[in-house]
Structure 1
Amino acid sequence: MPSTPFSPALATFFRGLAAHNEKSWFEDHRDDWERHVRDPMEALLHEAERRYGPGRVLRQHRDLRFTPDKRPYREDTGLTAGGMYLSAGADGLQVGGGLYEPSRAQLRAARTTIDEHPQAAAALQRELDELTDAGYELAGPPLKTAPRGYDADHPRIDLLRMQHYAALVHLPLESSLEDITAAWDRVQPLVRWTVKWARADDPEASDDPAPPVPGARSIHERA
């Protein structure tokens, strides 16, 4: 695949779609979507799967069944693969990964680990600190109070209040493949922590690990 997966034409397409989010406009510009959005994403997915495991490109059509927002198309594009995530749109790239919207079993397992295994909790805290120092933003928000069954003065209460274990960093749209994979590799220790301690293979887990960050749309918008 090319050393730079995306071109400015992707941003041009999504700016147009944001102004005319309707089927007739999309069909009139389908060739642009295929050339500048679909094909680069599929090529990048192939590379991501080679490195991290099975994945998929998120569908361009939005699920309108449970939302009052009836725009038919999402105004960016995204993929997931092996706990990694990337979205590309007019504002650039969001790259990272982890475990977003864990199942009840996953959340219970992670909190039990944080409570009962101080070394594992310290490893999680260290990785979160290193990610935020490197410019990543953590998925959120955390609980406002202590989770049920835990004291508010627990020594690791900040970790226990987490509801997601994922992080993203913003990159320019025309970032190189090397920069994108470096951002993915940087979040790998967090992914491995979830696999070991939060049972990230739980079949009840969300299909999409994409973690919204401040200013981003919700995971349900991305699906």
Structure 2
Amino acid sequence: MAQDRDVTFRGWPSEALEFYEGLVADNSKTYWTAHLPFYEEQVRGPMHELLAELEPEFGPGKIFRPYRDVRFSKDKSPYKTHLGAWLDAGGYIQLSSDGLAAGSGMYHMDGGQLERYRRAVADDKTGEELTAIIASVGNGPIAVRGNGSLKTAPRGYAKDHPRVDLLRHKGLIAWREWEPAAWLGTARARTRIVEFLRASRPLKDWLDVHVGRS
């Protein structure tokens, strides 16, 4: 992606957040069509530029489609009220009316990944390594949290296991949010994403080594 064109990321204008405020209020094809040129140029465009600048360190990225999959949802709103993108080397970026957010880790593990994750958590050496990483990464504005967590220990593991809270998770991520501010319209937005990705890298590395890809 970085070779596609010469681009410079300068952040998102405040109108990009206002666009999503409007979409939350009127999630319709009429609103979307009327604002599509703005979305392409001022919302999606800066994200494309950001991914291009992040690629040398964090790998190529991809912007998610703006359309919701409503086949199995009671909510038939056709459009996502945020812009999301992922990085191949691990990382997620999100823009919405609430501001900017970033994540890293494994949001949902498949069966094989989950089995490897639980074995590594249960092992005293690798499990204690993860506990220390979480304490370090999550000691500040970054939150480390589980996803799809069971109410009790998974089958085959003791309910009183010292790391039962970690064993219950089906996903594990580092997450940070930033409220709307003037810096979001500058290159400082890139700096904050990079700082997050670097700070959360120990968690990503542990998951890469002990859980691996799907």
Contact (CA 8 Å) 1:17, 1:75: kept in 2 or not?
A: yes
**Contact in 2 for aligned 1:124/1:193 (Cα 8 Å):** yes
The answer on 1:63 being equivalent to 2:76 is no
Deviation of 1:26 (Å): 0.9
Residue number among 170, 173, 198 corresponding to 1:185 in the alignment: 198
Shift of 1:105: 0.4
Distance 1:50 1:187 in 2: 18
Q: Which runs of 5+ in 2 are unaligned?
A: 1-6
- What is residue 19 of structure 2 aligned with on the other side? 13
The 2-side partners of 1:136 and 1:143 are apart by: 23
Q: Is the 8 A contact 2:150 2:168 kept in 1?
A: yes
2:208 to 195, 199, 206: 195
CA root-mean-square deviation: 1.6
Aligned length: 200
Match of 2:101 in 1: 94
Which of 98, 112, 119 is the aligned partner of 1:112? 119
Q: Please tell me whether the aligned partners of residues 3 and 178 of structure 1 are also in contact (alpha carbons under 8 angstroms).
A: no
Letter in 2 for 1:197: H
Could you tell me the percent identity over the aligned residues? 31
Q: Is residue 177 of structure 2 the alignment partner of residue 164 of structure 1? A: no
Contact 1:93 1:170 in 2 (8 A): yes
Report the Cα distance in structure 1 between the residues aligned to 2:175 and 2:210, rounded to whole angstroms: 21
Instruction: Quote the offset at 1:160 in angstroms.
Output: 1.3
Measured after TM superposition, the shift of residue 58 of structure 1 is 0.8
Task: Give the SS at the match of 1:176.
Answer: helix
**Residue 145 (structure 1) aligns with:** 152
Kept after mapping to 1: 8 A contact 2:133/2:202: yes
2:147 matches 1:134: no
Aligned partners of 2:58 and 2:129: how far apart in 1? 22
SS of match in other structure, 2:153: coil
Amino acid of the structure 1 residue aligned with 2:11: P
- Normalising by structure 1, we get a TM-score of 0.84
Q: 1:36 aligns with which of 31, 42, 53?
A: 42
Partner of 2:51: 45
Q: Secondary structure at the match of 2:100?
A: strand
- Spell out structure 1 runs of 4+ moving beyond 4 A: 1-4
More displaced stretch, 65-74 vs 139-148? 139-148
Alpha-carbon separation, structure 2, partners of 1:86 and 1:131? 18
1:84 maps to 2:101: no
Task: After TM superposition, give the deviation of residue 136 of structure 1 in Å.
Answer: 2.1
Distance 2:8 2:178 in 1: 17
